[in-house]
Amino acid sequence: MSIRRALLSVSDKTGLEDFARRLEAAGIEILSTGGTARQLREADIMVTDVASVTGFPEIMDGRVKTLHPKIHGGLLARRDNEDHLAAMKNEAIRGIDLLVVNLYPFEATLATTQDRATLIENIDIGGPAMLRAAAKNHEFVTVACDPSDYQKIAAEIDEKGETSLATRQMLAAKTFARTAAYDAAIASWLANEKLPEKVSFAGTRTLALRYGENPHQEAALYKSAHARTGVGTAVQVQGKPLSYNNINDTDAAFELVAEFEAPTICIIKHANPCGVASATSLSEAWQAALAADPVSAFGGIVAMNRSLDEQTAMAVTNIFTEVVIAPEASDAAKAIMAAKPNLRLLLTGGLPDPRDSLTKIKSVAGGFLMQSRDGGMIGPDDLKIVTKRPPTTAEMSDMMFAWKVAKHVKSNAIVFVKDGSTAGVGAGQMSRVDSARIAAQKARDMATHHGWPVSRTIGSVVASDAFFPFADGLEVLIEAGATAVVQPGGSKRDDEVIAAADAAGIAMAFTGMRHFNH
């Protein structure tokens, strides 16, 4: 399909002038509107105003300019249909063979303001209508909604004077995806609710991955319109390409460290923390987090809630690490990382807000589940002390630490903590008793590994992400040496569990909040 006539009307004018010059050099007539036409004329490119084609001026502050049969007829007419061709002749409609349109920046505007009038004016009507018309008629019309496609289109025109059907179909699919994403963003804003009756969502592929969780699975990373600070928005400074599992684990690690105000390090393996610690400096936090489980830390993901400094970088690179993610990194730290060319370093520019309740989505057969993310948080004043002995100040501090970690451990979750670092983690077991036993055993294993005289569970506190249905789980923790426990409460047998705690002389607090994480 030879391209003789093009309509260019864009908000994002990236690459516009160079592309228009190539069209002009190919002998293609250019139609345009408003600011696009002005910019092209200022660049000495010949332009025909759409108003001169329609015989109707732009009105209502530009709201109405391209919604006209002489535009949409030129886009929608099938060039192989005699009735369509006859209608074009009778109504003096000329074909439009190339449409270049990108939309009013609604999403970008939404990211900077909640002013209703401003957002309404950034809802494009004529643009989506033209894009959909051209995309529908892609057998005959080439459509471009993204400046990144200009080079491909121009190269095909330079070579053949036309584009291939395969290119037109690819561009049409991309266009419908763009208009769908655009409408989804507008619908979400207008609905102003997390779980509307009808929902649509969209993403932009930012990274093609070698494979998914396993080599026989396909995978890619997409960025959503509501970009939350984290792995999806991070800049990869160095290292091998990220894998699906790297990204999933890194996300879990960074969300965990964002919960803490003090300098904190988290080491993740298979989406669960094997070591978490807070201290007065990142390097001290690293040493404590590593000591919690140095065996599992090998080949792990390391996240921190402070800028990566030289001392911490030197310590982290002493063991095999897959990914390091931080808000920032000093030049000295970057230089140390660079000596490990396979190590991925991701910098986010900030931390996610742990209180956010943005929507999370999980696919299931035949549909998907939606929920707000777990932004629930509690403080010491929210706890209900249910035992005769209240927790000490030190125990209370560790209880708050353990509770934050348990929120990010796969259920059933049991987390031992002592002096601001994890001592043992039990994750993802079918029985809470088994999670408790595993956490205690891992702590004993670490004591043997380090040559410590006793397990760090002696004198520790424990967090459980949900209530104890029976006293047996609590008894495992008491046997391991725990002196204080924080848990949601709410079991029919809470009285039995409290009685077991009192009999052992330990402190226990109820949060009234559960943190299941499946």
Q: Model confidence at 112, in pLDDT bands (50, 70, 90)?
A: confident
What share of the chain has pLDDT > 90, as a percent?
Answer: 79
Domains of the chain and any CATH numbers = 5-191 (3.40.50.1380), 229-347 (3.40.140.20), 383-510 (3.40.140.20)
Residue 371, SS3?
strand
State the helix-helix crossing angle for 69-76 and 82-90, rounded to 10 degrees: 160
92 secondary structure, DSSP code: T
Kindly list the catalytic residues.
136, 270
Structure confidence at residue 255 as a pLDDT band (50, 70, 90): very high
Give the model's confidence band at 253: pLDDT under 50 very low, under 70 low, under 90 confident, else very high: very high
Least confident range of 20-29, 132-141, 352-361: 352-361
CA-to-CA separations, 479 to 421, 436, 455, in angstroms, rounded: 20, 11, 12
Per-residue pLDDT band for 475 (boundaries 50, 70, 90) equals very high
Name the residue type at position 373: R
Q: What Å distances lie between residue 174 and 196, 205, 490, CA to CA?
A: 26, 12, 51
Distances in whole angstroms, Cα of residue 146 to Cα of each of 13, 119, 180, 306, 408: 10, 22, 14, 37, 39
Q: What is the strand order of the sheet 142-144 is part of? A: 48-49, 29-32, 5-10, 98-102, 142-144
How is residue 65 annotated by DSSP? S
The torsion angles phi and psi of 336, rounded to 5 degrees, stand at -65, -45
Which structure tokens are listed for 195? 């779980």
Instruction: State the virtual CA torsion across 449, 429, 364, 179 in degrees, nearest 10.
Output: -40
Site of tokens 């904190």: 264
Q: What is this structure's pTM?
A: 0.84
Contacts of 83 (CB under 8 A, 6+ apart): none
Name the strand (E) or helix (H) holding 219.
none
Whole-angstrom Cα distance, residue 370 to residue 363?
A: 9
Q: 3-state DSSP call for residue 201? A: coil
The one-letter amino acid code at 42 reads E
- Could you tell me the sign of the dihedral formed by the alpha carbons of 256, 257, 258, 261, in that order? positive
pLDDT at residue 225 above 80? no
The amino acid at 347 = L
Q: What average pLDDT does range 197-223 have in this prediction?
A: 89
CA distances from 58 to 9, 55, 124 (A): 13, 10, 15
Mean of the pLDDT values across residues 174-193? 88
Residue-level pLDDT at 195:
79
Q: What is the pLDDT of residue 57?
A: 76
**Angle CA(41)–CA(44)–CA(46) in degrees, nearest 5?**
65
Mean pLDDT rounded to a whole number for the chain: 93
